[in-house]
Every structure is written in structure tokens, then in C-alpha cells.
């Protein structure tokens, strides 16, 4: 299934109050900031949104708020993957009921299933809903890697919209693109590889750094698609230090600080994640300036 979305998506952070609750006022400001700067899709409750430390009640409240607040101004995709297929199906059905335009489902983590298990996992999820599903390949976090032949098999599932690739191996990504081209879409899931993945035919990207710099990320996407690579690289060269800064510590620790630094009070991550170290804050502040991101 091709064509669910072309463009830029932001893997949204979830802002928390000092007392730990979700800060919906700031979340609304974050959503507006994304839409006003050209972001096409909001990916909510993915890894960057810290769902692993949120209660079911909180996640439901975030989904309901997101659908209502966005009000069709952009597509809304909810993370619903799990290391238990039954739980992933339950979460996917709920997300669809609450108004999701699509789903982002990470591979089963920790269990380390086989390639056959990956196929069965996504097939079961896709058969349980009527909306597009994007597979998320991030072996650095999950211990499971969607191999190119497996991605090709997934492309045969009717509502399998694409794969968010964050394996970090460009050779593998090129082979995956070769196998799925014309069947389902490829999305960059690694900000460092946004430009080359777009260049080989990626339909878009799902970005962490766009929490801070959505305008610049969208400009890179647009320029690549217009084959204006010199201009795209000019912007990307200024973005790369910020991208690196976003991963000086575990995501979303730096991204949440970056949001705060530009005037979006994202708060700090929930334990066991910690606040960004002071030396990394200085790096982030400098990189925000280099990227040309304005304070709100």
C-alpha cells in the first residue's frame, strides 16, 4: 500500500508538568508549532513520546486530545506496537476507534522473534484494523531487525503502508528500498540519514529533530524532492550538528531540553530517563543557533 503520506512527520515528545502529569496546554502549543511550520503528520506515543512510562489512562487522554485539537489539520499517527501481539492488536484497535489516521508499530522488542514472527506480528495487526500501518525498524532499541526480504513480504499486506527505517545501515536500507519500491513506502527514521533516504526514493521522514526545527526539516524534504540538492545540503549542513545534539544522550532526553530551549516547556523525561547533563545543554543551545531556529 503506497501513498499514506508524503512529507515530514514529527515523532512528538510528550510534555509533562513538574508533578509528572501530561501538560496538555504545552502539547497544544507544540502541535500548533508543527502544523504552522509545515509538518504533515504528527506521530504521537512513539518512542520519543515516552509511552513506556505512561499509564493507559494517560495514553487514552493524549490520543483523545490529539485528535480533537489537530482537527484534521494534519494526519495523526499513534504508536501501538508491543512485544505482545495481543497487546499490539488491542492498542491498535483502540487507536483506530479514537480517530487515528494511521498506526506506527515497532517490532516486538526483547522477545527477539524470528523473521517469520515479524511477518505474522504485522499481518495480525493489519488484519485487526482498517487504517494504514507503518512498521518501525529500530534494532538498536528492540534487538530485532526487519531484513529486506521480510520487508518485501510485509509489502504484500493490503494496509501495510510502509516501513520507518532506523537500522542505521544504508546498504540494508537501499536493498529494502529496491525490494519494496512501488509496493509500499520507505520513511527515514534516523535524522542523520534523512537526506540520503529521500534521495533513493523515500516518501518522507519521521523525525526527532523536527520537534525543535520543523521548518528546516520540511525545507530539506521539499528541496530534495525538487532535485535542488545543493540547497538541501546547505540546510542539512546546519541541521546536522543539532541532529547530533539530539542524540548526545538517550532520546528523548536532549529533544525535550531542546523544546524547552526554544520556548516550548516540555518538562523533563520520566524516570528512569534523566534530565540532560549541563555540558550537553550548552551544546544543544549552540546547535539550535547554528540551525537557525528562532525562540518562540
- Selected catalytic residue, list 75, 164, 218, 238: 164
- Confidence at residue 230, expressed as pLDDT on a 0 to 100 scale: 96
**Could you read off the pLDDT tens digit of each residue along the chain, which spans 296 residues?**
889 999 999 999 999 998 889 999 999 999 999 999 999 999 999 999 999 999 999 999 999 999 999 999 999 999 999 999 999 999 999 999 999 999 999 999 999 999 999 999 999 999 999 999 999 999 998 999 999 999 999 999 999 999 999 999 999 999 999 999 999 999 999 999 999 999 999 999 999 999 999 999 999 999 999 999 999 999 999 999 999 999 999 999 999 999 999 999 999 999 999 999 999 999 999 999 999 999 98
- 90 classed as catalytic: no
- 136 classed as catalytic: yes
- Confidence at residue 166, expressed as pLDDT on a 0 to 100 scale: 96
- Confidence at residue 296, expressed as pLDDT on a 0 to 100 scale: 86
Contact 236, 186 (CB under 8 A): no
Residue 280 CB neighbour total at 10 angstroms: 16
- Confidence at residue 119, expressed as pLDDT on a 0 to 100 scale: 97
Residue 226 CB neighbour total at 10 angstroms: 10
Strands 133-137 and 185-188: unpaired
Strands 133-137 and 160-165: parallel
* Whole-model pTM over 0.85: yes
* Cell (9 digits) for 148: 529486506
Domains in the chain (CATH in brackets) are 7-226 (3.20.20.70)
CA dist., res. 122 & res. 135, Å (int): 8
- Selected catalytic residue, list 136, 187, 221, 257: 136
- Confidence at residue 20, expressed as pLDDT on a 0 to 100 scale: 82
Amino acid at each position: 500500500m503506497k501513498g499514506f503520506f508524503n512529507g515530514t512527520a514529527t515523532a512528538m515528545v510528550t510534555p509533562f508538568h513538574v508533578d509528572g502529569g501530561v501538560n496538555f496546554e504545552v502539547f497544544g502549543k507544540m502541535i500548533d508549532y508543527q502544523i504552522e511550520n509545515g509538518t504533515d503528520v504528527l506521530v504521537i506515543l512513539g518512542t520519543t513520546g515516552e509511552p513506556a512510562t505512561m499509564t493507559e489512562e494517560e495514553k487514552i487522554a493524549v490520543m483523545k486530545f490529539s485528535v480533537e485539537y489537530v482537527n484534521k489539520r494534519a494526519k495523526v499517527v499513534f504508536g501501538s506496537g508491543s512485544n505482545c501481539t495481543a497487546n499490539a492488536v488491542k492498542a491498535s484497535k483502540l487507536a483506530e476507534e479514537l480517530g487515528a489516521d494511521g498506526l506506527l508499530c515497532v517490532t516486538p522488542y526483547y522477545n527477539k522473534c524470528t523473521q517469520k514472527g515479524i511477518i505474522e506480528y504485522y499481518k495480525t495487526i493489519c488484519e485487526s484494523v482498517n487504517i494504514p500501518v507503518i512498521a518501525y525498524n529500530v534494532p538498536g532499541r528492540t534487538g530485532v531487525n526487519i531484513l529486506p526480504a521480510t520487508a518485501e513480504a510485509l509489502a504484500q499486506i493490503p494496509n501495510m503502508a510502509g516501513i520507518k527505517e532506523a537500522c542505521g545501515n544504508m546498504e540494508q536500507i537501499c536493498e529494502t528500498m529496491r525490494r519494496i519500491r512501488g509496493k509500499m513506502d520507505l520513511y527515514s527514521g534516523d535524522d542523520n540519514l534523512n537526506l540520503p533516504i529521500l534521495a533513493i526514493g523515500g516518501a518522507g521522514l519521521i523525525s526527532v529533530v523536527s520537534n525543535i526545527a520543523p521548518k528546516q526539516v520540511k525545507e530539506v524534504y521539499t528541496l530534495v524532492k525538487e532535485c535542488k540538492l545543493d540547497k538541501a545540503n546547505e540546510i542539512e549542513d546546519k541541521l546536522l550538528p543539532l541532529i547530533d545534539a539530539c542524540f548526545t544522550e538517550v532520546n528523548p532526553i536532549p529533544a525535550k531540553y531542546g523544546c524547552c530551549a526554544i520556548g516550548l516547556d516540555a518538562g523533563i523525561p520520566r524516570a528512569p530517563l534523566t534530565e540532560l547533563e549541563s555540558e550537553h545543554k550548552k551544546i544543544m543551545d549552540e546547535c539550535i543557533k547554528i540551525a537557525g531556529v528562532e525562540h518562540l
